[in-house]
Amino acid sequence: MNNERLMKVLLSPVVSEKSSVVADANQQYTFRVATDATKREIAQAVEKLFEVEVERVQVVNCKGKTKRFGQINGKRSDWKKAYVRLKPGNDIDFAAGA
């Protein structure tokens, strides 16, 4: 896989109450990913960036909300979320760089 492509697959970690509960209970981490990313690309990107071993990847396509801007109806962009389960003994520490 092209290293440049792998660097563009992961957009950001999703930090929410639900994602922290899932991380503690199931050793899963949640990321916002490119809409055209595949499970294999996501797994390779996480392994390369965080130097961990990925066990499984689950992907969710999130539909953008319809919003009103004054009298004009608009729509937020659709996006893709990935739940990445790590093999036992692996861990990602997002606070290490701070």
**Can you give the pLDDT at residue 77?**
95
CB 37 within 8 A of CB 57: no
**CATH at 79:** 3.30.70.330
Asked if the structure places residue 72 within a domain, the reply is: yes
- Considering its fold, how many domains does the chain have in total? 1
Asked if the structure places residue 78 within a domain, the reply is: yes
Asked if the structure places residue 97 within a domain, the reply is: no
**pLDDT tens figures, 8-64:** 999 999 999 999 998 888 889 999 999 999 999 999 999 999 999 999 999 999 999
Give the global pTM. 0.87
Asked if the structure places residue 95 within a domain, the reply is: no
For the residues 65-94, what does the mean pLDDT come to?
92
CB 30 within 8 A of CB 21: no
Residue span of the structural domain in which 20 resides: 3-88
